[in-house]
Amino acid sequence: MFAVETLNLSKRYGKTDALRGLNFTVNEGEIMVILGPNGSGKTTLLMILCTILKPSSGTAKVVGIDVVEEGTKVREVMGIAFQEARGFWRHKPSSILKFHASMFDIDPAKRQDLIERTMKDLELWESRDKMFMHLSGGQAKRLETAKVLIQQPKLAIFDEPTSQVDLRGKRKIWDKIRELRDQGSTVIVATNEVREAEYLADRVTILHQGQRVVCDTIPKLKDAIAGGDIVEVDFEDPVSGKLVKDLNGLGGDVSLSSEGNQLRAKVSRAEDWVPKMTSASYVAGAKIASIRITEPSLDDVFLHFTGKALAGQP
């Protein structure tokens, strides 16, 4: 059984289609990162999964429970950290967390300890006497994350969990999200941030214009880009035209520098191409001085699949 499964999921706001027949699955116990520019349907999908929004058509299930038919049951097993922190303005963080814990039946005997530990882990303890409305943007975001951490739901959803959070805080939140996954929760993270996706993702789904473009692990996504890896080879002496011709025969696009001792090759999988290249060079008697391999970034992957750069899209 999938932790999350949607089938032909659509959501229409007036004349705008936010989701268009989305088929999407998340395996139990994995961190699924959803990447997509603004307006790609990420937040709409998350809002449907957490039952705030009703889909226009199609189905969505969370741990096998239908989000429309049995919304209350879904909410018992799911927790969400919103993109914009939402709290009771005149309550202190611990009081907000206590309320949240009580709503999800966290053992009252362990509640206080858990809240204190989580607040300390997320560096909120110093702000425990401030009212929510007086927290900084980053503190409010960390509190939003803390709610889900103390809840330890079967499905944890984080919508841009580290926007407005400083670098140190980001790393803490990421580690806690991974810890949550290690404790058995399934996690969905929606983000625009490449580093976040690379740090967290077991798999990545790219959404574009309300549809799933691709879904896989990051290495496989990178491999899927033809000519994605760039291999630069320095030879001790200029190489022959025959060797260049032989290397071109291995796949990819190989070009020789004007000095004749430097090759630049664009290949799909550097780890497959490089051994073949070294053995061909050995046979041709060309001595290799150094090899440099550059992987495509997730941004390149995104650009490849959607035709758009990832960050800063309107």
Partner 1 sequence: MSQFSRLVRIARTDFSYFFRTKWLMAVLISLSLSDMLVVGLVYGRLIPTKFAGLSYFQFLVPGIVVVGLFSAATDTGRRIWLALREGVVQYYLTLPVRTGGLVGAYIISGGLGGIVYSGALLAIAYFALSFLGTSTIPIQGIVYALALIPFLFVLATGIAGLAAFFASVSRRGEIYWVYAQALQVSMVTISTVFYPAQTIAQYLPAPVATIAEYNPLSLAAGVLRNSAFAGNPLDTSVLTNLLATSLPLAILGALAYWTILRNIRLKGKP
Q: Under the criterion CB under 8 A, does residue 53 sit at the interface with partner 1?
A: yes
Residue 180 phi/psi, 5° resolution?
-60, -45
Number of residues that bind partner 1 (CB under 8 A): 28
Q: Which stretch binds partner 1 (CB under 8 A): 47-55, 205-213, 230-238, 304-312?
A: 47-55
**Nearest partner of 236 among 266, 263, 204, judged by Cα:** 263
Asked if 48 and 66 touch (Cβ cutoff 8 Å), the reply is: no
* Interatomic CA distance for residues 186 and 178, integer angstroms: 10
* Interatomic CA distance for residues 197 and 205, integer angstroms: 10
If the CB atoms of residues 16 and 258 are measured against partner 1, the closer one turns out to be 16
Residues 63-92 that bind partner 1 (CB under 8 A): 72-73, 75-76, 78-80, 82, 84, 86-91
Shortest approach of partner 1 to residue 75 CB, angstroms?
A: 4
**Nearest partner of 207 among 42, 61, 43, 83, judged by Cα:** 42
**Nearest partner of 221 among 35, 13, 89, 62, judged by Cα:** 35
Shortest approach of partner 1 to residue 41 CB, angstroms?
A: 12
Residues 97-136 that bind partner 1 (CB under 8 A): 99, 102-105
Q: Under the criterion CB under 8 A, does residue 231 sit at the interface with partner 1?
A: no
If the CB atoms of residues 106 and 277 are measured against partner 1, the closer one turns out to be 106
Terminal CA-CA length for the chain: 36
- Enclosing H/E stretch for 137: helix 137-151
Site string for partner 1, 253-292 (x = CB under 8 A): ----------------------------------------
Shortest approach of partner 1 to residue 131 CB, angstroms?
A: 8
Among 38, 54, 249, 311, binds partner 1 (CB under 8 A): 54
Shortest approach of partner 1 to residue 92 CB, angstroms?
A: 10
Burial class of residue 290, CB neighbours in 10 A (0-12, 13-18, 19+): exposed
CA angle 149, 161, 212 (to 5 degrees): 110
Residues 6-35 that bind partner 1 (CB under 8 A): 13
Among 50, 165, 231, 263, binds partner 1 (CB under 8 A): 50
Shortest approach of partner 1 to residue 78 CB, angstroms?
A: 7
If the CB atoms of residues 47 and 63 are measured against partner 1, the closer one turns out to be 47
- Cα–Cα distance list, 42 to 157, 189, 209 (Å): 11, 10, 10
- In one-letter notation, the amino acid at residue 153 is P
Query: What's the sign of the alpha-carbon dihedral 81, 183, 128, 101?
Result: positive
Shortest approach of partner 1 to residue 141 CB, angstroms?
A: 13
Shortest approach of partner 1 to residue 128 CB, angstroms?
A: 16
If the CB atoms of residues 82 and 273 are measured against partner 1, the closer one turns out to be 82
- Interacting residues with partner 1 (CB under 8 A): 13, 44, 47, 50-54, 72-73, 75-76, 78-80, 82, 84, 86-91, 99, 102-105
